[in-house]
Amino acid sequence: MGVTEVFLIAVSLAMDAFAVSLCRGLCMRKINYKHAFIIAGLFGLFQAAMPILGWLLGRQFEQYIDQFAHWVAFALLLIIGGKMIADVFDKNEDKKELSCQLNVKELLVMAVATSIDALAVGFTFAFLGASIWMSVSIIGAVTFAICFLGVIIGNKFGAKFKKKAQFAGGLVLVFIGIKILLQHLGVINF
Protein backbone atom coordinates (compact mmCIF):
# COMPACT_ATOMS: atom_id res chain seq x y z
CA MET A 1 0.00 0.00 0.00
CA GLY A 2 1.50 3.29 -1.13
CA VAL A 3 1.67 6.71 0.50
CA THR A 4 -1.10 8.06 -1.75
CA GLU A 5 -3.50 5.29 -0.69
CA VAL A 6 -2.62 5.77 2.98
CA PHE A 7 -3.16 9.53 2.61
CA LEU A 8 -6.59 8.97 1.02
CA ILE A 9 -7.48 6.51 3.79
CA ALA A 10 -6.32 9.07 6.38
CA VAL A 11 -8.52 11.77 4.87
CA SER A 12 -11.47 9.39 4.76
CA LEU A 13 -10.99 8.25 8.35
CA ALA A 14 -10.77 11.86 9.51
CA MET A 15 -14.20 12.79 8.13
CA ASP A 16 -16.16 11.77 11.26
CA ALA A 17 -13.72 13.68 13.46
CA PHE A 18 -13.91 16.61 11.01
CA ALA A 19 -17.70 16.66 11.39
CA VAL A 20 -17.38 16.77 15.20
CA SER A 21 -14.73 19.49 14.89
CA LEU A 22 -17.06 21.54 12.69
CA CYS A 23 -19.71 21.31 15.38
CA ARG A 24 -17.21 22.29 18.05
CA GLY A 25 -16.20 25.33 16.04
CA LEU A 26 -19.84 26.21 15.52
CA CYS A 27 -20.29 26.33 19.32
CA MET A 28 -17.51 28.87 19.76
CA ARG A 29 -18.51 32.54 19.67
CA LYS A 30 -14.90 33.45 18.94
CA ILE A 31 -12.28 30.98 17.75
CA ASN A 32 -10.19 29.58 20.60
CA TYR A 33 -6.97 28.21 19.11
CA LYS A 34 -5.97 26.46 22.32
CA HIS A 35 -9.25 24.52 22.28
CA ALA A 36 -8.87 23.85 18.55
CA PHE A 37 -5.39 22.42 19.25
CA ILE A 38 -6.72 20.19 22.06
CA ILE A 39 -9.62 18.94 19.94
CA ALA A 40 -7.38 18.23 16.92
CA GLY A 41 -4.72 16.64 19.12
CA LEU A 42 -7.12 14.20 20.75
CA PHE A 43 -8.71 13.17 17.47
CA GLY A 44 -5.31 12.83 15.79
CA LEU A 45 -3.95 10.76 18.66
CA PHE A 46 -6.85 8.31 18.66
CA GLN A 47 -7.00 8.06 14.86
CA ALA A 48 -3.30 7.10 14.95
CA ALA A 49 -3.52 4.76 17.96
CA MET A 50 -6.49 2.68 16.83
CA PRO A 51 -4.86 1.34 13.63
CA ILE A 52 -1.89 0.21 15.74
CA LEU A 53 -4.26 -1.77 17.94
CA GLY A 54 -6.04 -3.20 14.88
CA TRP A 55 -2.70 -4.02 13.26
CA LEU A 56 -1.47 -5.85 16.39
CA LEU A 57 -4.69 -7.87 16.54
CA GLY A 58 -4.63 -8.50 12.79
CA ARG A 59 -1.05 -9.81 12.93
CA GLN A 60 -2.25 -12.46 15.39
CA PHE A 61 -4.71 -13.82 12.81
CA GLU A 62 -2.64 -13.19 9.69
CA GLN A 63 -1.45 -16.78 9.29
CA TYR A 64 -5.03 -18.07 9.38
CA ILE A 65 -6.50 -15.76 6.80
CA ASP A 66 -3.50 -14.78 4.66
CA GLN A 67 -5.05 -16.28 1.52
CA PHE A 68 -8.25 -14.28 2.12
CA ALA A 69 -6.53 -11.03 3.17
CA HIS A 70 -7.57 -9.04 0.12
CA TRP A 71 -11.17 -10.15 0.53
CA VAL A 72 -11.10 -9.17 4.20
CA ALA A 73 -9.60 -5.76 3.34
CA PHE A 74 -12.22 -5.26 0.65
CA ALA A 75 -15.08 -6.22 3.01
CA LEU A 76 -13.85 -4.06 5.90
CA LEU A 77 -13.35 -0.97 3.74
CA LEU A 78 -16.70 -1.54 2.03
CA ILE A 79 -18.48 -1.85 5.38
CA ILE A 80 -16.75 1.19 6.90
CA GLY A 81 -17.28 3.34 3.81
CA GLY A 82 -20.86 2.12 3.40
CA LYS A 83 -21.66 2.98 7.01
CA MET A 84 -20.24 6.48 6.59
CA ILE A 85 -22.40 6.99 3.49
CA ALA A 86 -25.48 5.54 5.20
CA ASP A 87 -24.98 7.85 8.19
CA VAL A 88 -25.29 10.83 5.86
CA PHE A 89 -28.90 9.81 5.20
CA ASP A 90 -29.71 8.90 8.83
CA LYS A 91 -32.25 11.41 10.13
CA ASN A 92 -31.26 10.69 13.76
CA GLU A 93 -27.66 11.86 13.15
CA ASP A 94 -28.86 15.47 12.85
CA LYS A 95 -30.56 15.30 16.26
CA LYS A 96 -27.34 14.45 18.11
CA GLU A 97 -26.00 17.56 19.77
CA LEU A 98 -22.75 18.39 21.46
CA SER A 99 -22.23 20.50 24.52
CA CYS A 100 -20.46 23.76 23.73
CA GLN A 101 -18.18 23.49 26.77
CA LEU A 102 -14.72 21.97 26.22
CA ASN A 103 -15.27 18.80 28.22
CA VAL A 104 -12.22 16.52 27.94
CA LYS A 105 -14.18 13.41 29.01
CA GLU A 106 -16.76 14.04 26.28
CA LEU A 107 -13.97 14.69 23.76
CA LEU A 108 -12.29 11.41 24.72
CA VAL A 109 -15.54 9.52 24.13
CA MET A 110 -15.99 11.27 20.77
CA ALA A 111 -12.35 10.55 19.84
CA VAL A 112 -12.83 6.85 20.56
CA ALA A 113 -16.19 6.75 18.78
CA THR A 114 -14.87 8.44 15.65
CA SER A 115 -11.77 6.22 15.52
CA ILE A 116 -13.42 2.79 15.68
CA ASP A 117 -13.28 2.59 11.89
CA ALA A 118 -9.52 3.23 12.14
CA LEU A 119 -9.27 0.06 14.26
CA ALA A 120 -10.74 -1.94 11.39
CA VAL A 121 -8.38 -0.25 8.94
CA GLY A 122 -5.52 -1.38 11.18
CA PHE A 123 -6.64 -4.98 10.57
CA THR A 124 -6.48 -4.24 6.85
CA PHE A 125 -2.94 -2.88 7.19
CA ALA A 126 -1.86 -6.10 8.91
CA PHE A 127 -3.37 -8.29 6.20
CA LEU A 128 -1.81 -6.24 3.39
CA GLY A 129 1.60 -5.95 5.02
CA ALA A 130 1.45 -2.15 5.06
CA SER A 131 4.08 -0.16 6.94
CA ILE A 132 2.18 0.55 10.15
CA TRP A 133 4.43 3.33 11.47
CA MET A 134 4.39 5.30 8.23
CA SER A 135 0.63 4.74 7.96
CA VAL A 136 -0.26 5.86 11.48
CA SER A 137 2.05 8.88 11.22
CA ILE A 138 0.18 10.02 8.12
CA ILE A 139 -3.22 9.22 9.65
CA GLY A 140 -2.46 11.11 12.87
CA ALA A 141 -1.00 14.16 11.11
CA VAL A 142 -3.79 14.36 8.53
CA THR A 143 -6.48 13.98 11.19
CA PHE A 144 -4.88 16.67 13.33
CA ALA A 145 -4.72 19.12 10.41
CA ILE A 146 -8.25 18.37 9.20
CA CYS A 147 -9.75 18.68 12.69
CA PHE A 148 -7.89 21.90 13.45
CA LEU A 149 -9.22 23.35 10.21
CA GLY A 150 -12.63 21.86 11.01
CA VAL A 151 -12.89 23.88 14.21
CA ILE A 152 -11.95 27.06 12.33
CA ILE A 153 -14.30 26.33 9.40
CA GLY A 154 -17.11 25.43 11.81
CA ASN A 155 -16.62 28.72 13.58
CA LYS A 156 -16.70 30.67 10.31
CA PHE A 157 -19.24 28.83 8.17
CA GLY A 158 -21.27 26.46 10.32
CA ALA A 159 -21.98 22.81 9.66
CA LYS A 160 -23.00 22.96 5.99
CA PHE A 161 -20.01 20.81 4.91
CA LYS A 162 -20.54 18.01 7.45
CA LYS A 163 -22.61 15.60 5.35
CA LYS A 164 -20.69 16.26 2.13
CA ALA A 165 -17.37 15.53 3.84
CA GLN A 166 -18.68 12.33 5.41
CA PHE A 167 -20.18 11.14 2.10
CA ALA A 168 -16.92 11.82 0.24
CA GLY A 169 -14.90 10.01 2.90
CA GLY A 170 -17.17 6.96 2.67
CA LEU A 171 -16.87 6.88 -1.13
CA VAL A 172 -13.07 7.03 -0.98
CA LEU A 173 -12.93 4.05 1.40
CA VAL A 174 -15.31 2.03 -0.80
CA PHE A 175 -13.22 2.81 -3.90
CA ILE A 176 -9.95 1.87 -2.18
CA GLY A 177 -11.53 -1.43 -1.10
CA ILE A 178 -12.65 -2.11 -4.68
CA LYS A 179 -9.17 -1.22 -5.96
CA ILE A 180 -7.52 -3.66 -3.52
CA LEU A 181 -9.87 -6.43 -4.63
CA LEU A 182 -9.40 -5.71 -8.35
CA GLN A 183 -5.61 -5.70 -7.91
CA HIS A 184 -5.79 -9.04 -6.11
CA LEU A 185 -7.93 -10.52 -8.90
CA GLY A 186 -5.48 -9.20 -11.52
CA VAL A 187 -8.03 -6.91 -13.18
CA ILE A 188 -5.87 -3.80 -12.63
CA ASN A 189 -2.13 -3.43 -12.06
CA PHE A 190 -1.65 0.00 -10.43
- Average pLDDT of the chain, as a whole number: 80
In angstroms, how far is CA 35 from the centroid of its own chain?
Answer: 21
d(CA 28, CA 24): 7
How does DSSP assign 57-82, residue by residue? HHHHHHHHHGGGHHHHHHHHHHHHHH
| pLDDT value of position 69 | 64
User: With the CA atoms of 61, 64, 66 and 71 taken in that order, what torsion angle do they form, in degrees rounded to the nearest 10?
Assistant: -90
d(CA 174, CA 4): 15
**Does the pLDDT value for residue 160 go beyond 70?**
no
The amino acid at residue 123 is: F
Q: For residue 121, what are the CA distances in angstroms to 37, 177, 182? A: 25, 11, 18
**Does the pLDDT value for residue 42 go beyond 90?**
yes
d(CA 90, CA 182): 30
d(CA 98, CA 80): 23
| Torsion region of 28: left, alpha or beta (phi above 0 gives left; psi -120 to 50 gives alpha) | beta
Cβ 144 vs Cβ 44: under 8 Å = yes
> What average pLDDT score do residues 60-67 get?
68
pLDDT in tens, 105-138: 878 888 887 787 888 888 888 877 788 999 999 9
| pLDDT value of position 38 | 93
**Does the pLDDT value for residue 29 go beyond 70?**
yes
| pLDDT value of position 117 | 81
pLDDT in tens, 16-28: 788 778 877 877 7
Give the residue from 88, 82, 77 showing the smallest Cα distance to 166. Answer: 88
**Does the pLDDT value for residue 36 go beyond 80?**
yes
The pTM of the full predicted model, rounded to 2 decimals, is 0.70
Q: How confident is the model at residue 34 (pLDDT cuts 50, 70, 90)?
A: very high
pLDDT in tens, 71-85: 776 777 788 778 778
Q: How confident is the model at residue 158 (pLDDT cuts 50, 70, 90)?
A: low
Higher pLDDT, 1 or 131: 131
